[in-house]
Amino acid sequence: MFLSVFDIFKIGVGPSSSHTMGPMVAGGRFLDALRRQPFRAHGLRASLHGSLAFTGKGHATDRATILGLAGFLPETMDQQAADAALARNRETEVLTPQGLGDLAFDPARDLVFDYDRALPGHANGMVLMATDQQSDVIFREVYYSIGGGFVMTESELAARGDDTRTDAAPKVPFPFASAAEMLGMAERSGKSIARMKRENERVFRSDAEISAGIRRIWQVMRDCMDRGLATGGILPGGLSIRRRAAAIHEALKAESGMNLTAPHVINDWMSIYAMAVNEENAAGGQVVTAPTNGAAGVVPAVIRYWLDHVPGASERQLDDFLLTAAAIGGLIKHNASISGAECGCQAEVGSASAMAAAGICAVMGGTVAQVENAAEIALEHHLGMTCDPVRGLVQVPCIERNGLGAIKAVSAASLALRGDGQHFVPLDAAIETMRQTGRDMSDKYKETSLGGLAVNVPNC
């Protein structure tokens, strides 16, 4: 399987890539499969399992499932049209996806949060069904939302087996499946990680398409951040969490240039860049998975810090930053996980921090060995981090956690750049440790809101 930079960085909507984008994508895939059937369906049903059930309400999984079955997709969704479709469904108990006519769907009856039965393939499982005039199921498919907006059917997940390659494809010139292979290929070829990744991408896209796509990704990231830096108020969901990025941003601008400003204030800038993105995500705004929605603020925050605060930084190097970050994200996804429901927040913010550390190290002149070191440092110091969102909302502790993930990324890159690339713990070892830690971690701490902060702070 070849994992493109545009697979790691996908344009979508908040608040969750696995719980919002994934179910919406699954709905679209189910409709496509239904259109290929020889019979006509008369109704639809859905059941949510595992983490999709336990934190589905807070992650808007019910809304996303309905929109997916109505024919909406994350990248192209128009908010007003989506709201209108949901209102029509509430009034008529019917969905009208293109080419399938009117399909009965009463959310109160046909959308089930199954808290008792987990599906075997992944913590984020859902079953989509089509029914006949007698309400008997005539077609069904099991989908797993495996993190970062990626969706696989039950059969696809089973067929994947042990193939964990990240850039593997028949014609790809640099099919590295591990950090060790990546380092070896770089040494033999004399190419950077970004250069190898670009040459892999060229098998499927032109250079112009690659660069235009990356510019589009950064534009959406920056627009999201700018909206977050300009918007105050209370986040939806019932916790009455106040947006803070805009107010802190105004205070930082007012302090800018003051001789008495403490050096550590740069951490506040990095934090608000990340928090602005994740406040937008929590409000259901347009974001870029990086590699997930819950960790969407880390990479753009580090890019913004680099561009706005580091002398000599230039957007001409954005391609190298994001291609390098995508290569690291791909290694983590295929050798461990980027799913909070599978491995906790170490798989989300930890992965994002490793990606951002690698990206900024690369554009600041780091060698391939230093880039791998930067990614390892960032990931190592997120190992064991749980995913315990209060009330199932991607707000507490998720928003602040992105800010600290950005700070760790920059610190990791700085440490790596001070060294020569030689270090004790290989990135592959950190990735495998994350996988093992996630496997051993109690389900209470893997995006179910059954443990940790989710049960030790007030929920109202």
Residues in the chain: 460
Taking all residues of the chain, what is their mean pLDDT, rounded to a whole number? 95
- Tens digits of per-residue pLDDT, 124-175? 999 999 999 999 999 999 999 999 999 999 999 998 764 444 565 558 999 9
- Tens digits of per-residue pLDDT, 409-424? 999 999 999 999 999 9
Cα–Cα distance measured from residue 267 to residue 265, given in angstroms and rounded to the nearest whole number: 5
Going by pLDDT thresholds of 50, 70 and 90, the confidence category of residue 1 is: low
Going by pLDDT thresholds of 50, 70 and 90, the confidence category of residue 342 is: very high
- pLDDT greater than 60 at residue 77: yes
User: What is the chain's alpha carbon radius of gyration, rounded to the nearest angstrom?
Assistant: 22
Residues whose CB is less than 8 angstroms from the CB of residue 291 and which lie 6 or more positions away in sequence, other chains included: 8, 9, 17, 147, 148, 329, 332, 333, 338, 348, 351, 352, 355
Closest to 252 (Cα-Cα) out of 203, 300, 309: 309
- pLDDT greater than 90 at residue 320: yes
- Tens digits of per-residue pLDDT, 275-314? 999 999 999 999 999 999 999 999 999 999 999 999 999 9
**Which amino acid is located at 19 in the chain?**
H
Closest to 41 (Cα-Cα) out of 94, 115, 112: 94
Contact, 153 vs 161, CB < 8 A? Answer: no
Can you give the pTM of this predicted structure?
0.93
What domains lie within the chain, and their CATH numbers?
A: 16-160 (3.30.1330.90), 179-456 (1.10.4100)
Mean pLDDT of 31-51: 97
Q: Which two tokens mark 103?
A: 């399909």
Cα–Cα distance measured from residue 182 to residue 339, given in angstroms and rounded to the nearest whole number: 23
Q: Which residue(s) pair with 387 in the sheet?
A: 446
Contact, 421 vs 370, CB < 8 A? Answer: yes
- Tens digits of per-residue pLDDT, 426-452? 999 999 999 999 999 999 999 999 999
Closest to 1 (Cα-Cα) out of 147, 131, 170: 170
